Amino acid sequence: MHPKGYKIMKKSTLTETVKRLRKQYGLTQEQLALKSGVGLNFIREMEQGKATVRLDKVNQVLLLFNYEMAPMPRKDEQ
């Protein structure tokens, strides 16, 4: 169960969504890192699409925008 009002993120859109939201809120990568309590390198790696980012830290960042990552059933490509 997800907290009321939270939007569930798909993994494939994480990079684009974080970058778009950061810019929409007028934040630099440094400001986003500071406000979310994660390192600047983590923000950079997440926005560059690094495949091995920690989900707890991703959600820590997304919380600022009222988003979260959550497990979803995989859709097989056809």
> Domains in the chain, start-ordered, CATH in brackets?
7-68 (1.10.260.40)
0.75 exceeded by the pTM? no
**pLDDT band at 1, cuts 50/70/90?**
very low
pLDDT at 77: 56
Q: How much is the pLDDT for 12?
A: 56
Integer angstrom CA distances of residue 49 from 32, 36, 41: 16, 18, 12
Q: Longest C-alpha distance within the chain, in Å?
A: 42
Nearest to 62 by CA among 26, 28, 37: 37
pLDDT band of residue 22 (cuts 50, 70, 90) is very high
Q: What is the pLDDT of residues 35-74, one digit of tens each?
A: 999 999 999 999 988 877 888 999 999 999 999 888 778 7
